Structure 1
Amino acid sequence: MYDDMNEIHRADLTRGLRRRAADLVPNPQDFYVHAVVDGLLDQGVTHLADVRNMDALILSNTLAAPEDDEDTDEDDLDLAAAAALAALHLASAA
């Protein structure tokens, strides 16, 4: 049951974040969207409406694709996830 709900929340967050990111940055990449979603889920967020300063969170995590994304690897994912957590913490403290 928990895994099913977690996947539902993940899909909802991903869909909403991807939609909002497209309004803010050119060519939002799934790689970064998923890293931000993972950070939100780790913080217990299940709805985008629960996140204050969503636009700042999106912009601070550079969801725009790098020109050359062939060298994207796990280290980049770790950095994106860490940035997402830091931005979420700053947004919630505001």
Structure 2
Amino acid sequence: MSENKEEIPKEVISTRQSLHSEIEEILIKKLFTVVEKIDMLPSGDLDFKPFDDRLLIQLEALIEKKFDQKIFDRRKDRQITSFLSQLKKERTMRDFGLL
């Protein structure tokens, strides 16, 4: 191999940005897993019981962030808005020991 060969410049991403991207990617995978596995109760509500508080807090924060970044629109993305609403309701009920 010749040493004169030009190296392809690599895009340098800050460590902080890289970590945030990795964390967000992991959370998005978790969100898809929850959406795939969640059951619907006869009342029409989603059954969040199999999922721990920590995960629900993370997912709530991720979805809120996406709304703030204007990636989701509360008026257009009604299913996401409904999911977030039910998630918040579940967390509130857990926080006050109503479940």
Flag the structure with larger Rg. Answer: 2
Give the TM-score taking structure 1 as reference length. Answer: 0.33
Decide which structure has greater helix share. 1
Decide which structure has greater strand share. 2
Give the TM-score taking structure 2 as reference length. Answer: 0.31
